[in-house]
Structure 1
Amino acid sequence: MKISVRNLEPTKAKLTITVDDEEFAPYLDEARKEIAKQINVPGFRKGHVPAKIVDQRVGFGAVAGEAMNKAIPEFYSQALDKKEIRPMAQPEIDVVEMPESANSDVKLKFTATVERRPQFDLPKLEEMTIDVEPIEVSDDDVEQRLEGLRQRFGTLVGVDRPAQKGDFVNIDLDAQIDGESVDSQEGVSYEIGSGNMLDGIDEALEGLSADEETTFESMLQGGEHAGEKALVKVKVNSVKTEELPELDDDFAQEASEFDTLDELKEEIRKAAAMDAKGRQATAARDAFIAKIEEDLEIPVPKGILKETVEEQLKNQPNADSDAKKKVEEEVEKSLRDQIVLDALAEELDVQVAQADVFNFLGSIAQQYGMDPNAFIQAIIKNGQIGAAVQEVARSKGMLGGMRKVKFTSNGEELDLSEFLSSDDEADAEVAAAEEDETVAAAAAAAAVADDLAKDAE
């Protein structure tokens, strides 16, 4: 097999692959055997038709076509390995020449144009020191958490007065366009000031008492009239206010296993400190990737960038130029990070076991409330197991890389061992890494989950 490579762009290459006759011959023989099982030729048992008869019966072109279906992907894969090209998308295959007969001097020749990972040298991780902002847990942090816990034990009590911000109201809504009702709801509970309903509703509700109503204009957020302006009539059925328990030892005993409020506060402070450490570890991760990219010129494949941006903008049909630019910048950064992590995983010779992948997919299935085994089988059936393997490799590569780097905070070395784990532990724990990015990182897997959920409905 002869291979020539032409770099069209820093992230795009065109391979021209010429296959020798002796290399292509086994694929032709295999194709003839498969075709022989499917045709009936008088005087021969099915599956035992001689090669020459098969060529005569179906034509050599059909045999060569069947052979190329299997041969081209395998020769393409071999060419990538030999030329150390790391593809980032499916190739565009073009057959330039193919033998016209069993005795033809013409060799199989095809081109493969593919967007590839750019080549660059990673910095020496062992020589890298990264400073991370220190963590602090203030009394305000503790008080905010305590207040959140207190609100969970609050009770709603009816009041005979006009509604005000922070009150909970039970309301009926009727949206009209040109005098015709297009949407109505009854008995809706809403906290005034929460801002999670129609624009203008907070201003309309403040000052109304039970059994009073008013109208206001607002843009509808959902349904077939989403984006249209409507006149909304709102009626208040009841007004309630939230009464919170006193912060004392009795509350501590009701809300926790502790006997005193001071003990509860101390536990809350410990939880806040642990969360802060987690945020610090996330900051260290982001700083690690940024440090690697700091002095590197890493171009992003234009085709993949364009395709990914267009896909994301499908969910934002009314996005203005600023919003589109923001999406493009986010996608470009995400792709650049992926490129770096792929290179890091390769340099560290990361090995991905089947258990790693299944644990990772199991965590995705759990987020979607699906049976892990059924979900994994769906991923395999949809040909997306490779994407999951790649994500696991990236996570393991990042953890391995971070273990080689020295992190500091306030001039002192920072111990992140509880978040980075040992190599053996990383194999088992990689599926839980970076909870805030798991679904995004497994977009292909999540897409399958969405499709399966829709089918179930």
Structure 2
Amino acid sequence: MNVKMEKTEANVVKLEITVDADKFSEALKKSYNKNVKKFSVPGFRKGKTPIGVLKKYYGIEVLYEDAINFCCEDTYPKAVEENNIEPVDYPQIDIVQIEEGKDFIYTAQVIVKPEVELGEYKGLEVKKVKYEVNEEEVQKQLTAMQERNSRQEVKEEGNVEDGNIAVIDFKGFIDDVAFEGGEGKDYPLEIGSGTFIGDFEQQLIGTALGETKKINVNFPENYGKEELNGKPATFEVTVNEIKVKELPELDDEFAKEVSEFDTLEELKNDIKAKAQESNELREKREFEEAVLEAVCANATIDIPEVMVEKEIDQMMRDLEMRLKYQGLDLETYYAYTNNTEQKMRDFMKENAEKKVKTDLVLEKVGEVEKVEATEEEIKEKAMEVAKQYGDKEIEKTADLIVKAQGELLKTDVVIEKTIKLLVENTKSIEE
């Protein structure tokens, strides 16, 4: 095999690969063995026609397609490896010379991973946002705990008030015609929760127990259902029951009932501590993202469109998987959100470009800084994955993960160490 390589344009390489005549002859024989049963020649049983007779009767060309495939499968990967190129897409194959008894020559034009020109990536100054825990945040969590532990008392008489729970029957009409999905029975609606559209809940305030009232609202323009978007609607609503939500007092007794603490002060301190821990994780994550954005902004890369499209493909597969866990599929999701596959792909494109560029930059920094993953670090990463499975035999599971996904784990470790290196070499300016 002989290979000539030339760069035809940015990120595009053309390989001219010559396969020796004897190797091409072997490929023709393999093609004959694969296809001989397909041909019928008078005087010979099907599948027993000699290759010489087959060539005379049908022509050698009938064996070319598979012979070409055999040659390309055998030589293209070797040519790629010998020339140290990293294709990011399938090659475009063109035949230069094909004839029995002669060398087989073909070209493979392929898009390759782009060159990354790093700018400054050490000694940068990046803003780091600081998040403080305030009393309002603590109170918000306490109120949520009160809500979860509230009791509901039925009002024997009176009208619907803000904060009440109105148990209602409702039926919606557009132009005096009932629409699909606009009906409900004994629905518990908390007034002021913002569950229903527009001022539906506010219009219910003052309605008496057992009273039927007409409520007029407009559906939002982007409601998600074409037949309802922006349409005015009338609902006939009957109040079947009114409930008052009673919240428990915020005191030491409350703390004992809802937590492992004896006093409200201890519960508050625990909420603050957990909120602070969450804030610190958020600060760390956002600072890492800001550092990567700064490093990427200084780098120059001509990213092939095919790499972006492949990243979008992966994002679409991830979306489909998440929807399946919720019992949905893509078509239902498109209908509900008034979307199409192309709209989703267009929406994802910016993030896909950012992801591809970040990955390429991290890979280049890791290469320049000679970042490597040790066997111990790979095993440790496998242990983290094994713990997620909840398997008791974590050590054994980790070993299996290393065997099956060792290269992926190695890549993850190198990326994490590279991000750590960049963060450690960036000066934070706190806000």
- The match for 1:148 is 144
**TM-score for both structures, normalised by structure 1:** 0.66
Return the match for 1:336 from 337, 357, 376. 357
Tell whether the 8 Å contact from 2:162 to 2:191 is kept in structure 1 after alignment. yes
Q: Which amino acid aligns with 1:69?
A: N
Distance 1:120 1:189 in 2: 58
Verify: 1:20 aligned to 2:23, yes or no.
Answer: no
Tell whether the 8 Å contact from 1:215 to 1:232 is kept in structure 2 after alignment. yes
Compute the displacement of 1:282 (Å).
0.9
Distance 2:133 2:185 in 1: 44
- The match for 2:108 is 111
Return the match for 2:174 from 171, 177, 187. 177
Count of residue pairs brought into register by the alignment: 383
Distance 1:219 1:390 in 2: 52
Return the match for 1:273 from 257, 260, 276. 276
Compute the displacement of 1:229 (Å).
2.0
Distance 2:74 2:206 in 1: 73
Unaligned runs of 5+ in 2: 317-329, 391-403
Return the match for 2:299 from 291, 296, 301. 296
Compute the displacement of 1:286 (Å).
0.3
User: Aligned in 2, Cα 1:62/1:225: closer, same or farther, shift over 3 Å?
Assistant: same
Compute the displacement of 1:132 (Å).
2.8
Verify: 1:186 aligned to 2:185, yes or no.
Answer: yes
Q: Secondary structure at the match of 2:274?
A: helix
Compute the displacement of 1:358 (Å).
12
Tell whether the 8 Å contact from 1:130 to 1:407 is kept in structure 2 after alignment. no
Tell whether the 8 Å contact from 2:126 to 2:429 is kept in structure 1 after alignment. no
Distance 1:216 1:278 in 2: 46
User: Aligned in 2, Cα 1:92/1:395: closer, same or farther, shift over 3 Å?
Assistant: same
Distance 1:93 1:113 in 2: 6
Map 1:305-454 → 2, pairs under 5 A: 305=308, 315=334, 328-344=349-365, 348=371, 395-405=412-422, 406=424
Unaligned runs of 5+ in 1: 367-384, 413-457
User: Aligned in 2, Cα 1:71/1:329: closer, same or farther, shift over 3 Å?
Assistant: same
Q: Secondary structure at the match of 1:227?
A: coil
Q: Which amino acid aligns with 1:133?
A: V
Cα deviation, 1:168-225, whole Å, max 9, x if unaligned, reads 3323232223322222222223333433433442343344343332131433846673
Distance 1:345 1:38 in 2: 53
Moved more, 155-164 or 124-133: 124-133
Compute the displacement of 1:99 (Å).
1.7
Distance 1:253 1:57 in 2: 93
- The match for 2:96 is 97
**TM-score for both structures, normalised by structure 2:** 0.69
- The match for 1:204 is 203
Verify: 1:67 aligned to 2:67, yes or no.
Answer: yes
Verify: 1:261 aligned to 2:264, yes or no.
Answer: yes
Distance 1:389 1:305 in 2: 26
Distance 2:162 2:76 in 1: 66
- The match for 1:167 is 164
- The match for 2:7 is 6
Tell whether the 8 Å contact from 2:16 to 2:107 is kept in structure 1 after alignment. yes
Identity level (%): 21
Map 1:23-62 → 2, pairs under 5 A: 24=24, 27-35=27-35, 60-62=60-62
Compute the displacement of 1:256 (Å).
0.9
Tell whether the 8 Å contact from 1:177 to 1:229 is kept in structure 2 after alignment. yes
Compute the displacement of 1:249 (Å).
1.2
Q: Which amino acid aligns with 1:268?
A: I
- The match for 2:229 is 227
